[in-house]
Amino acid sequence: MSLAVGSGPQPQPVVEARGVTKAYGHVQALGGVDFAVYPGETVALVGDNGAGKSTLIKILCGALQPDSGRLYVGGEEAHFASPRDARLRGISVVYQDLALVENFDVAHNVFLGRAPVRFGRVDRRRMAQETTTVLTELTVELPSVRTPVRFLSGGQRQAVAIARAVHQGGRLLIMDEPTAALGVQEGTKVLQLIEGLKSRDLAIVVVSHNLEHVFAVADRIVVLRGGKVAGSRAKAGSTHSDIVHMIVGADVGGAA
Amino acid sequence: MTGIAHRSARTNAETREAVKRFFRTGSIFIALALLWTALAFASPYFFTQQNILNILLQSSTVGILAAGVTLVLIAGEIDISVASVQALAATVSATVIITHDGSVALGIAAGILVAVVAGSLNGYATIYARIPSFIVTLAMLGIAQGAAFLVTGGQAIGEFPHSYGVLGQGKVGPVPVPVIIAGAVYLVLHLLLSQTPFGLNVYAVGGSRNASRLAGLRIERTIMTVFVISGALSGLAGIILSARLDAAHGSFGASDLLDAVAAVVIGGTSLFGGAGGVIGTLGGVVIISTIRNGLVLLNVEAFWTQVVVGGVILVAVLLDQMFKGELAPRDLVPGLRRA
Amino acid sequence: MTAGRKRRNRVGRFGYVAAIAAVAAASALVLVSAVGAGSNAKVRIALVLPDFAQNPAILDVKKGAEAEAKKLGNVEVITTGNISAEGQVKAIETAIAADVDVILYDTIDGKAISPAIEKANKAGIPVVCYISCAIRGNHVSKIEFDWVGIGKVEGTWLGKQLKAGQQKRGGTPVYAVVDTSKADPSVAGIYKGRDAAIRAAGVKPKVVITPPTNWDRAKGLAYATDLLTANPRIDAMTCNADSIALACWQAMKAAGRTDIPFSGANGDCANLASILRGEQDFTVILFLKSGGAVAMDTAVRVARKQSYKKAGIVPIQGVDRQLALRILSGQAKVPAGLDTLERLKKARAGCK
């Protein structure tokens, strides 16, 4: 469970799920999953289709309720009735479809649902300023924060969605397939962005089926198979084929 | 170049965006200005203070209805019951004041209350019964229309007291009261939509239900509110209309529905939701009233009326698209090869 | 010997009872059938009208007919109002299928409705028509409106105003029309009569006409306002329907042009009151409500196999302020059967 062997007493996980199960009708999507994320680490969550990745992160971010099991944030037990609850506890999500409003500009999307208000009026100047700041910090290039996102490229939109999650503050950032819809060039840019996030003392969970990208950014790789954790490996010392075997079903060994 | 791009490039880009935004909302007024210019040349009676005020007066109640429709459309729904609820509010108010000798204030309150109830029912059925708003408000159209006839027994009830008539026939200086009321409605709604967090929510809910839900926006509350506002505005329009005509009848203003929806579409609010605004609608309403006025002033043969109205609407929307930058004149020529 | 006599007596007594019973039964039968063909048998009448939601004149017809049915008693009226001719055709077909006793109708389109009337004839259902009749098919009774005649009465008055305007101001007099409908044949008939009467008065006015209001008072107000704006000279104006004439008056008041002579038609109480006040100048009273009652009365008589009138023209009366005052004071007499005096009294009392 520790990142480096013999590094001293274990820190508290930022978020931990214990014994989480979830069924949809007759289908057991998750059959008892233990999953923890520690401060500062980037964990990749991988698995085949139907392994339970989306279900797990939906539970972690409050979009779904588990049938059984418990969630802990910073050691304390937590219940999330909605993604808003999770956000208020410091868990932000970048959804696979990005959940952006096409007609809104960059600033409005970054502040979606959290627009600052001054004397009853929406404070657009502050929105523009803070959006510019966070995008600069993330070294994202955009002509203007007032451009409607429908005019942006896929990679730029991904950056906006990530900027929103980052700006929300918090300790855990979950990303669902951040590079899946992007070409090589833009995908690389997004990976750089994620790399840049590591300096922020954020814990990051990346769900991806692109093993190359996984190996590029992850510190640790957790494999789900058939609704259960098939294994957890530090990236250092693992090979692609090790991971593929775990995804597909040949156990290679290693603690969760 | 890192970060958001060089300061000067950024200001240029932002200015361009601001200009584009201005044209998006204001472009319909350019079309309106062209129309007015053309009519001013065609008839010496057009561009007088009295006639222009008449046009605005004749736009007032339809304009108020159209403002409500705009709001609901931006939220991603639609309200086609507005004209019927207008008639219902008028007939209820008339019944209370004239048939039952109630006070003017009581009549107005009753009319608006009935309209608000209708709006709430629209909202409730759309949100909780999950019936598409087109169907819900279509049903309410029938219910309210029928109720309006039932309330007055199919007759026109007439002759309101003076304090009621003022709402429709009074003037402040040269400006008719309905124009002032409609102007106030537009101002309030514009500020609501463009400045308040609620307004922002309306655009978000209409723009992407999914994104709004995931962002934790209170979607149900937003949708219910827009329907209630639309209902209240229909009620207000009904009061003013009956004050203007000094009578209320279930059939009054029945044709306002088409005019209101046409005005909203001409004004640039998308039928898909998430974009647009009441300012554009205001332009659309005045364009429609101007066309009618022009036809009478120029003594145009009646059968041409429908042709002309349809044609002017088409041209106005075409011009609007061009000003918004979404259509180039080149696009209109099929097969013209791009440079 | 005693047994034989007893037997004869029993038969005799039985015979008396039988005879009395037979006579009683026969009389009862005769009485019942007499009542059946008489004053209070249950009858079902289909009343097929144009749209009474929009047109207050048709509403008057409906009210008059239904009130008369109630008065006569034991009459079931199935009323339909339709905006379109095809809607009326469907209503008549439904009435045939429902096997009503009589069909009473007022049609929007005499040509389109004819096949439906012929169907009713074939089904053996008697047909009575009121105001506007089909051009083909058999009717047991027709109570019609002379639309052209109505137009002539209004046109004569308008012609007089136009002539006076010509004499006062010289040049070509201006005749303004707030149109109600392009599709309604009754309107077309009125126009014919009006134009003929105006020609007969010896004037050739300039005609300005608005788009049709379709009896929407709000449109009437808007069109009348614009008409006044565009025409600084108007010598006479017609607003066609009385309900629109009220809006015309409002427009004139707002524009300060209350000196323009204008007319309407129908004879609504509010308009008669307006005439008495000197606001509206002329109207043609169409005795529609009482006409509706007469039509229903005819239909019920047909259904109950009583005697009825085969044809009739609904009466009308043109009225201006001068005549109205003379009728109220008793100086002028009203033709028998017309309730003009009662209407004027009600108008003077405030139309409550």
Q: Does C207 touch chain B (CB under 8 A)?
A: no
When the pLDDT of each residue in chain B is averaged and rounded to a whole number, the result is 88
Q: The domain that contains B306 carries what CATH number? A: 1.10.3470
Give B132→chain A minimum CA distance, Å: 22
% chain C with pLDDT above 70: 89
Q: Does A72 touch chain B (CB under 8 A)?
A: no
One domain, residues A81 and A104: no
Establish if B6 belongs to a structural domain.
Answer: no
Give the confidence band of C84 by pLDDT, cuts at 50, 70, 90.
Answer: confident
Evaluate if residue C309 carries a pLDDT over 90.
Answer: no
Does B touch C (3+ CB pairs < 8 Å)?
yes
Establish if B277 belongs to a structural domain.
Answer: yes
Q: What is the mean pLDDT of residues C214-228?
A: 92
When the pLDDT of each residue in chain C is averaged and rounded to a whole number, the result is 86
Tokens 């108007």 belong to residue: C234
Of the candidates A128, A183, A190, A133, the residue with the CA atom closest to the CA atom of residue A158: A190
User: Looking at residue A1, what is its pLDDT?
Assistant: 44
Evaluate if residue A2 carries a pLDDT over 50.
Answer: no
One domain, residues A156 and A135: yes
Nearest to B247 among C210, C217, C223 (CB): C217
Contacts of A159 in chain B (CB under 8 A): none
Please, which residues 179-238 of chain B have a Cβ atom closer than 8 Å to chain C?
none
Q: What is the pLDDT of residues B25-38, one digit of tens each?
A: 677 888 889 889 99
User: Looking at residue B319, what is its pLDDT?
Assistant: 72
* End-to-end Cα distance, chain B: 31
DSSP class of residue A149 equals G
User: Looking at residue B40, what is its pLDDT?
Assistant: 93
Angstrom CA distances, A114 to A63, A165, B273, stand at 18, 12, 21
Q: What is the pLDDT of residues B46-89, one digit of tens each?
A: 999 999 999 999 999 999 999 999 999 999 999 999 999 999 99
Establish if B17 belongs to a structural domain.
Answer: no
Range scoring the smallest mean pLDDT among A209-213, C80-84, C145-149, C160-164:
C80-84
Tally C-beta pairs within 8 A across A and B. 92
One domain, residues A143 and A80: no
Please, which residues 11-40 of chain B have a Cβ atom closer than 8 Å to chain C?
none
One domain, residues A233 and A119: no
Higher pLDDT: C38 or C304? It is C304
Establish if A123 belongs to a structural domain.
Answer: yes
User: Looking at residue A107, what is its pLDDT?
Assistant: 95
Q: Does B254 touch chain C (CB under 8 A)?
A: yes
Evaluate if residue A251 carries a pLDDT over 60.
Answer: no
% chain B with pLDDT above 90: 60
One domain, residues A80 and A108: no
Cβ burial of C205 (10 Å; 0-12, 13-18, 19+) is buried
Q: What is the mean pLDDT of residues B295-303?
A: 81
Angstrom CA distances, C269 to B111, B294, C168, stand at 26, 34, 32
Of the candidates C299, C298, C321, the residue with the CA atom closest to the CA atom of residue C309: C298
| B274·A147 Cβ contact <8 A | no
Range scoring the smallest mean pLDDT among A111-125, A208-222, B316-330:
B316-330
Give the confidence band of C184 by pLDDT, cuts at 50, 70, 90.
Answer: confident
User: Looking at residue B19, what is its pLDDT?
Assistant: 73
Taking residue C33's Cβ as centre, other Cβ atoms within 10 Å add up to 10
Establish if A109 belongs to a structural domain.
Answer: yes
Q: What is the mean pLDDT of residues C61-88?
A: 88
Higher pLDDT: B1 or A89? It is A89
| A102·B214 Cβ contact <8 A | no
| A115·B197 Cβ contact <8 A | yes
| A99·B203 Cβ contact <8 A | no
Report the alpha-carbon distance of residue B58 to residue C179 in Å, rounded: 18
| A115·B200 Cβ contact <8 A | yes
Q: What is the mean pLDDT of residues C190-217?
A: 92
User: Looking at residue B3, what is its pLDDT?
Assistant: 45
One domain, residues A21 and A84: yes
Tally C-beta pairs within 8 A across B and C. 85
- Please, are residues A212 and A218 in contact by the beta-carbon 8 Å criterion? no
Q: What angle do CA C258, C261, C265 make, to 5 degrees?
A: 115
| B204·A141 Cβ contact <8 A | no
| B215·A99 Cβ contact <8 A | yes
Domain count along chain A: 2
| C53·B149 Cβ contact <8 A | yes
Order of strands, sheet of C127-131, starting from the edge strand that comes earlier in the sequence: C75-82, C43-50, C102-105, C127-131, C141-144, C311-313
| A99·B10 Cβ contact <8 A | no
Q: Does C229 touch chain B (CB under 8 A)?
A: yes
Q: What is the pLDDT of residues B168-192, one digit of tens each?
A: 999 999 999 999 999 999 999 999 9
One domain, residues A120 and A67: no
- Please, are residues C295 and C128 in contact by the beta-carbon 8 Å criterion? yes
Q: What is the mean pLDDT of residues C6-21?
A: 57
Tokens 């009467």 belong to residue: C197
Contacts of B199 in chain A (CB under 8 A): 122
Which residue range is the domain that position A48 belongs to?
12-90+172-179+195-251
| B251·C54 Cβ contact <8 A | yes
Q: What is the pLDDT of residues C101-153, one digit of tens each?
A: 999 999 888 888 889 999 999 999 999 998 888 888 899 998 888 889 999 99
Which chain A residue has the Cα nearest residue B208?
A101
Q: Does B49 touch chain C (CB under 8 A)?
A: no
Nearest to B299 among C216, C230, C254 (CB): C230
Give C225→chain B minimum CA distance, Å: 8
- Please, are residues C108 and C135 in contact by the beta-carbon 8 Å criterion? no
The residue from A113, A135, A169 where one domain ends is A169
Contacts of B286 in chain C (CB under 8 A): none
Q: The domain that contains A199 carries what CATH number? A: 3.40.50.300
Report the alpha-carbon distance of residue B4 to residue A133 in Å, rounded: 9
Establish if B31 belongs to a structural domain.
Answer: no
Does B touch A (3+ CB pairs < 8 Å)?
yes
Nearest to B274 among A103, A113, A147 (CB): A103
Establish if A95 belongs to a structural domain.
Answer: no
One domain, residues A77 and A135: no
Q: Does C230 touch chain B (CB under 8 A)?
A: yes
Establish if A185 belongs to a structural domain.
Answer: no
User: Looking at residue A52, what is its pLDDT?
Assistant: 86
Retrieve residue A126's tokens.
């502050």
User: Looking at residue C11, what is its pLDDT?
Assistant: 52
Evaluate if residue C24 carries a pLDDT over 90.
Answer: no
- Please, are residues C260 and C227 in contact by the beta-carbon 8 Å criterion? no
User: Looking at residue C18, what is its pLDDT?
Assistant: 62
Establish if B116 belongs to a structural domain.
Answer: yes
Q: What is the pLDDT of residues A141-194, one digit of tens each?
A: 888 898 899 889 888 999 999 999 999 888 899 999 998 888 888 888 889 888
User: Looking at residue C33, what is its pLDDT?
Assistant: 47
Establish if B26 belongs to a structural domain.
Answer: no
Which residue range is the domain that position B160 belongs to?
48-318
Establish if A5 belongs to a structural domain.
Answer: no
Establish if A189 belongs to a structural domain.
Answer: no
Residues of B in CB contact (< 8 Å) with A are 1-5, 9-10, 13-14, 17-18, 195-197, 199-200, 203-204, 207-208, 210-212, 214-217, 274-275
Evaluate if residue C4 carries a pLDDT over 80.
Answer: no
User: Looking at residue C28, what is its pLDDT?
Assistant: 54
Tokens 């093993």 belong to residue: A211
Which chain B residue has the Cα nearest residue C57?
B155
Establish if B79 belongs to a structural domain.
Answer: yes
Which chain B residue has the Cα nearest residue A130?
B4
Q: What is the mean pLDDT of residues C211-236?
A: 92
One domain, residues A83 and A104: no
Domain count along chain B: 1
Range scoring the smallest mean pLDDT among A207-216, B153-162, C160-169:
B153-162
One domain, residues A227 and A111: no
Contacts of B208 in chain A (CB under 8 A): 99-102
Establish if B143 belongs to a structural domain.
Answer: yes
Q: Does A251 touch chain B (CB under 8 A)?
A: no
C144 three-state secondary structure? strand
Q: Best residue in B296, B298, B309 to probe C by mutation, most C CBs within 10 Å?
A: B296
Evaluate if residue B335 carries a pLDDT over 80.
Answer: no
Q: What is the pLDDT of residues A63-103, one digit of tens each?
A: 888 999 999 998 888 899 888 888 888 999 998 889 999 98
